[in-house]
């Protein structure tokens, strides 16, 4: 373990958010068991008040958790590499966490997806005085508790396991991962680089066009178009990640065959990893929200209009995030080509 | 509610905001006026310095070159104290060594 | 009351603070002291590791020292330079003549300046290279800087005429350093002519530092101890980060106590439900009431953050202030001057926000939520009963 104040800050924020979500989950359980919107009994009125409180608690917990996740990523990518012998970037730090760091990050990502979708549903719920989505958001809160607990637990374990006495070799890890990924993932990774980038760009442009169409639609967006946008955004995110790591990152590093995602977060590369991966996260989250918005609009007519409006906003967010990613990821490659007349 | 109290309250808000902004600006300005890094680097390069002068001369942390390899690394001040091993805290570590020796 | 910039709720929050001025003052004081102590520790850690890393990056990649069973022994200059340069990967090698000797006020680090080093320094830092019997001293060597002679005790005791005192803002590198002519330094350290204390080596790429160590050790016919720049940087960063983390852990009970007191006070205040009921009956929503409590807490936190960070900066960076180093890391001597760096101060503020201010705001939010989410009729009737 390393006693770094940034890790202490992460753990304190995680503890607070877990505490708040647990308190809200007690109310959520009561809502799931005994919510009856038609009733005017004292029990129901008290539950409605408590539901309001729980909503603020989960939103507060979500904010704290997102803040702690950003600090965790900053710690892994920018602060801890200086303390782990042999680590040049976050890859070495995760190696020093004996594999627990990746799990913590995966659970954190999943928690953020659930919190984000929950917040969107809660916002729609608060848009109508009858709060028709209260039971749905109660179930969402109950789903959030175990995932957030696992994220919290794995973060604590990763921090405890962090070994600053054993040297690591992060470049070896990157090369091993790329070598071992190739046979395992089969066709997609064995796709020629040029094709992969072409598919990534074509899908990105399609995503921008579809996102803008959903945003500009005068009537409620049609279901096939919106579901296509959701599906495409969720498929595009892994494709964009692979295209970035396998091909386009080389133009940022100006080194061939360096397939490291964490080096993009370093100050040497202008911290470009933050906007790049932030844009990917927004595309993924807004894709989920778009689907949830349409589902809510279909199943709960009371909140259909705000749900459609939210879906349209999601279309705009997806288009903007995709555009940002494409420009930032492919920009250096284009500049290289213009400058030297060849691809790397 | 007297109106003059609200005027005082608005002054307090403004004072707190101004204090905060001034503190942030002061720290920022001090950092710009701060370190003559170029000259410090020049000394480090010229004298081939291997440690800054934060710790008094003669201490092993100041001069890591003084550490002799014959001294066990457990006692190296360059290494932080390792976290306590729960097994060592809960169980007697000597027992297996003794039995190994007997064997 | 309308104000062009400040929302009326902020003014109401300040008005609410004025109702209990001593309580607000005590809260600000306790938050300020927590932020000042934590901030001083974090700023000290940040400044030391930043300055150390910056300085070490300008220094040599590796240092080779000849050792014997009892300690270190001088190495022959010409032979060791030839041997070092014969190892593939070594770009540059220089000998160093240095050691620690006793000064008038404690140990000092002594450097022998040869012609090469003298020329490089002369152009930028020194008025002239110290000749035999002369010394250039760092700002922290003597407390009375008007002295003209310094006595140093090594193998022999010798007096030197001080020709220059190095500027205090370079004291990160030169605080307790004495520069002498190489022959004088050799006499004090007991190093004969043609010998040096150790070798400073540069390699082409940072990655080679660790890889070249076995080859380098094998190139010399005597046992050597090789220290790398990376392990020195790691020791500074990790060791000092530990101090920051430890301070955070030590302050956790105080922080928890403060959060409990804040939560208890707000719960008591909102327990006087009549006031909340009245405001609600007048048209305030639950959100307004929660915002009022949060703005109140944010005003306190802003004042405390400003005062706490300024105090922390003064404790760590004020010229000649030894407080932070003395209390937090046991520096017994007058410490070298540290300098603020903007990104470091920003990250310290982020860490303080996460460790102190956000828990404080959560402690405010929690009872406020419980207190205001009730029916105004119940609140007013509860008072009448």
Q: Specify which residues C100 forms β-bridges with.
A: C109
The number of domains in chain A is 2
In chain A, which residues have pLDDT < 50? 183-188
Average pLDDT over residues C95-119: 83
State whether A83 and A187 are in the same domain.
no
pLDDT at A140: 95
| Residue A222: partners with Cβ closer than 8 Å, 6 or more residues away | none
With an 8 Å Cβ cutoff, are A12 and C355 in contact?
A: yes
Q: Cα–Cα distances in Å, from C299 out to B12, B16, B24, C306?
A: 9, 7, 16, 11
Chain A touching partners, 3 or more CB pairs below 8 A: B, C
Q: What is the pLDDT of residue B96?
A: 45
Report how many Cβ contacts below 8 Å link chain A to chain B: 6
**A1 with B83: Cβ contact below 8 A:** yes
Whether A276 and A199 share a structural domain? yes
SS3 call for C101? strand
Within 10 A of C151 (CB to CB), how many other CB atoms are there?
A: 12
pLDDT tens column, B32-91 = 776 677 888 888 888 888 888 887 787 777 777 776 666 555 555 455 444 445 554 454
| Distance separating alpha carbons of residues C189 and C201, to the nearest angstrom | 22
List pLDDT tens digits, range C332-364: 666 777 888 888 888 898 999 999 999 999 888
A12 contacts on C by Cβ (under 8 Å):
354-355, 358-359
State residue A258 phi and psi, 5-degree precision. Answer: -110, 95
Backbone phi, then psi, for A95, in 5-degree steps?
A: -65, -40
Find the angle CA(C320)-CA(A6)-CA(A99) to the nearest 5 degrees.
Answer: 140
Distances (CA, A) of A83 to A70, A90, B59, C41, C355: 19, 11, 22, 18, 21
Residues 6+ apart with CB under 8 A from C21: none
Label residues A36-55 b or e (16+ Cβ within 10 Å = b).
Answer: eeeeeeeeeeebbbbbbbbb
- Residues 24-63, chain C, touching B (beta carbon < 8 A): 48, 51-52, 54-56, 58-60, 63
Q: Which domain holds residue A223?
A: 169-344
- At CA A313, angle to CA A312 and CA A318, rounded to 5? 100
ipTM of the predicted structure?
0.82
A16 and A161 housed in the same domain: yes
Q: Which of C269, C272, C288, C268 is nearest to C280 (CA)?
A: C288
The pLDDT, as a whole number, for residue A115 is 96
Bridge partner residues of C178 (DSSP): C110, C137
Q: CA-CA-CA-CA torsion for C256, C262, C266, C269, nearest 10 degrees?
A: 130
Clarify whether residues A163 and A204 are in a common domain: no
- Write down the pLDDT at residue B93: 47
Distance CA C276, CA C380 (A): 8
Phi, psi (deg, nearest 5) at residue C65:
-125, 130
Query: In what helix (H) or strand (E) does residue C66 lie, and over which residues does it extend?
Result: strand C62-66
How far is the C-alpha of C215 from the C-alpha of C232, rounded, in Å? 20
Higher pLDDT, B3 or A159: A159
How far, in Å, CA of C266 to CA of C319, rounded?
42
Please identify among residues 159-178 of chain A the ones whose CB lies closer than 8 Å to any CB of chain B. 160, 164-165
Shared-domain flag, residues A1 and A137: yes
Can you list the positions of beta strands (E) in A20-161?
Answer: none
Interface test with B, best of A83, A159, A160, A165 (most B CBs within 10 A): A165
Per residue in C251-289, pLDDT tens?
A: 888 888 888 888 887 777 766 667 777 888 888 888 888
Residue C180 β-bridge partners = C112, C135
Residue-wise burial string across A226-240, b where 16 or more C-beta atoms lie within 10 A, e elsewhere: beebbebbeebbebb
B84 SS3 class: coil
pLDDT of residue A136: 94
Looking at the partner chain, which of C108, C124, C310 has a beta carbon nearest the beta carbon of B42?
A: C124
Domains of chain C, by residue range, sit at 8-55+234-384, 60-229
Cα-only R_g, chain A: 22
Q: What is the pLDDT of residues C16-51, one digit of tens each?
A: 889 889 989 999 999 999 999 999 888 888 888 888
Of A168, A197, A212, which one is at a domain's C-terminal end?
A168
Closest to C245 (Cβ–Cβ): which among A5, A20, A52?
Answer: A5
Query: Do C242 and A3 lie within an 8 Å CB cutoff?
Result: yes
Predicted pLDDT at A201 = 93
Three-class SS state of C23: helix
Residue B97 confidence (pLDDT): 43
Q: Both A193 and A256 in a single domain? A: yes
Higher pLDDT, C267 or C375: C267
d(CA A64, CA A108): 12
Same domain? A323 vs A177: yes
Query: What pLDDT does C172 receive?
Result: 85
Distance of CA C243 to the CA centre of its chain: 10
Q: Which of the pair, C146 or B76, is modelled with greater confidence?
A: C146
Q: Domain boundary residue among A118, A135, A168?
A: A168
Give pairs for A34-40: CB < 8 Å, separation 24+: A35/A134, A35/A135, A35/A138, A37/A130, A37/A131, A37/A132, A37/A134
Residue B20 has pLDDT above 80, yes or no: yes
Q: Which residues of C fall within a CB distance of 8 Å from A49? A: 373-375
Q: Directed axis angle between helix C21-58 and helix B37-47, to 10°?
A: 40
What is the Cα–Cα distance from A51 to A53, expressed in whole angstroms? 5
The chain-wide mean pLDDT, for chain C, equals: 84
**Which of A5, A22, A267 is the best substitution to test chain C (most C C-beta atoms within 10 A)?**
A5
| Rounded Cα gap, residues A207 and A279, in angstroms | 13
Judge residue A183's burial from the number of C-beta atoms within 10 Å of its C-beta, 0-12 exposed, 13-18 middle, 19 or more buried.
exposed
Q: How many residues does chain B have?
A: 103
Q: Are residues A149 and A251 in the same domain?
A: no
Residue C67 per-residue DSSP state: B
Q: Do residues A333 and A199 share a domain? A: yes
CA distances from B16 to B11, C4, C10 (A): 9, 17, 11
- Chain C residues within 8 A of B26 when measuring between CB atoms: 310, 313
3-state secondary structure C246-300: HHHHHHHHHHHHHHHHHHHHHHHHHHCHHHHHHHHHCCCCHHHHHHHHHHHHHHH
* Separation CA A61–CA A115 (nearest Å): 9
Tell me the nearest-neighbour CA distance from C242 into chain A, angstroms.
5
Question: Are A164 and A184 found together in one domain?
Answer: no
Helix (H) or strand (E) segment spanning residue C228: strand C224-228
Tell me which chains share at least 3 CB pairs under 8 Å with chain C.
A, B
Residues A74 and A2 in one domain: yes
Contacts of A322 (CB under 8 A, 6+ apart): A204, A207, A208, A211, A233, A236, A279, A283
């Amino acid at each position: 373990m390393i006693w770094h104040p940034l890790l202490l800050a992460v753990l304190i924020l995680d503890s607070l958010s877990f505490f708040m979500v647990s308190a809200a989950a007690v109310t959520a359980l009561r809502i799931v068991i005994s919510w009856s919107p038609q009733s005017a009994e004292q029990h129901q009125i008290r539950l409605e008040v408590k539901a309001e409180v729980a909503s603020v608690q989960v939103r507060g917990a979500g904010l704290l958790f997102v803040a702690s996740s950003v600090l965790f990523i900053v710690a892994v990518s920018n602060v801890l590499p200086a303390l782990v012998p042999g680590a040049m970037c976050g890859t070495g730090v995760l190696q020093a966490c004996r594999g627990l760091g990746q799990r913590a990050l995966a659970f954190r990502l999943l928690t953020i997806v659930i919190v984000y979708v929950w917040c969107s549903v809660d916002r729609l719920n608060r848009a109508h005085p009858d709060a028709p989505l209260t039971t749905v958001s109660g179930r969402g809160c109950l789903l959030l508790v175990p995932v957030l607990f696992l994220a919290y637990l794995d973060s604590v374990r990763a921090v405890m396991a962090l070994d600053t006495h054993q040297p690591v070799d992060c470049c070896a890890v990157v090369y091993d991962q790329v070598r071992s990924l190739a046979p395992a993932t089969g066709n997609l990774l064995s796709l020629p680089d040029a094709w992969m980038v072409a598919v990534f760009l074509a899908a990105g442009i399609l995503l921008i066009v579809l996102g803008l169409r959903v945003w500009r639609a005068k009537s409620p967006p049609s279901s096939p178009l919106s579901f296509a946008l959701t599906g495409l955004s969720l498929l595009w995110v892994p494709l964009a990640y692979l295209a970035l790591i396998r091909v386009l990152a080389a133009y940022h590093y100006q080194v061939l065959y360096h397939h490291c995602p964490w080096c993009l977060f370093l100050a040497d590369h202008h911290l470009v990893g933050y906007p790049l991966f932030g844009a990917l996260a927004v595309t993924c989250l807004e894709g989920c929200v778009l689907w949830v918005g349409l589902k809510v609009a279909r199943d709960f007519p009371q909140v259909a209009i705000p749900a459609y409006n939210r879906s349209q906003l999601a279309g705009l967010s997806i288009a903007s995030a995709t555009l940002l990613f494409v420009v930032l990821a492919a920009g250096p490659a284009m500049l290289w080509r213009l400058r030297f007349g060849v691809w790397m | 509610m007297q109106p003059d109290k609200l005027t005082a309250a608005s002054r307090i808000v403004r004072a707190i905001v101004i204090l905060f902004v001034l503190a942030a600006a002061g720290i920022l300005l001090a950092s710009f006026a701060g370190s003559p890094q170029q000259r410090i680097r020049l000394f480090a390069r010229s004298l081939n310095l291997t440690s800054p002068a934060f710790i008094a001369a003669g201490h092993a942390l100041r001069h890591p070159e003084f550490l002799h390899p014959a001294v066990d690394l457990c006692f190296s001040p360059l290494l932080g104290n390792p976290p306590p091993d729960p097994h060592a805290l809960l169980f007697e570590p000597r027992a297996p060594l003794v039995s190994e020796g007997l064997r | 009351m309308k104000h062009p910039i400040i929302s009326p709720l902020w003014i109401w929050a300040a008005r609410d603070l004025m109702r209990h001025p001593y309580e607000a003052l005590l809260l600000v004081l306790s938050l300020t002291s927590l932020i000042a102590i934590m901030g001083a520790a974090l700023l000290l850690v940040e400044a030391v590791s930043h300055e150390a890393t910056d300085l070490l990056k300008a220094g040599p990649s590796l240092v080779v020292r000849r050792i014997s069973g009892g300690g270190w022994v001088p190495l022959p200059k010409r032979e060791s330079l030839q041997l070092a340069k014969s190892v593939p990967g070594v770009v540059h090698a220089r000998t160093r003549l240095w050691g620690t000797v006793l000064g008038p006020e404690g140990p000092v680090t002594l450097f022998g300046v040869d012609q090469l080093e003298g020329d490089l320094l002369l152009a930028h830092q020194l008025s002239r290279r110290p000749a035999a019997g002369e010394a250039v001293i760092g700002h922290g060597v003597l407390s009375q800087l008007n002295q003209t002679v310094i006595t140093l005790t090594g193998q022999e005791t010798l007096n030197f005429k001080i020709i220059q005192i190095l500027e205090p803002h370079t004291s990160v590198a030169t605080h307790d350093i004495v520069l002498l002519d190489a022959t004088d330094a050799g006499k004090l350290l007991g190093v004969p002519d043609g010998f040096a204390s150790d070798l400073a080596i540069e390699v082409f790429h940072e990655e080679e530092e660790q890889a070249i160590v076995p080859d380098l050790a094998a190139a010399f016919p005597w046992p050597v101890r090789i220290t790398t720049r990376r392990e020195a940087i790691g020791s500074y960063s990790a060791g000092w980060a530990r101090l920051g983390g430890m301070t955070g852990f030590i302050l956790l009970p105080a922080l928890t106590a403060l959060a409990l007191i804040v939560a208890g006070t707000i719960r008591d205040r909102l327990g006087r439900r009549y006031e909340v009921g009245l405001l609600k009956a007048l048209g305030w929503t639950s959100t307004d009431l929660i915002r009022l409590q949060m703005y109140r807490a944010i005003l306190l936190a802003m004042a405390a953050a400003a005062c706490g960070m300024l105090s922390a900066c003064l404790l760590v960076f004020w010229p000649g202030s030894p407080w932070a180093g003395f209390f937090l890391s046991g520096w017994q001597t007058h410490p070298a001057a540290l300098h603020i760096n903007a990104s470091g101060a920003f990250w310290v503020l982020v860490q303080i926000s996460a460790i102190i201010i956000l828990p404080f705001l959560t402690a405010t939010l929690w009872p406020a939520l419980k207190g205001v989410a009730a029916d105004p009729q119940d609140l007013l009737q509860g008072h009448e009963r």
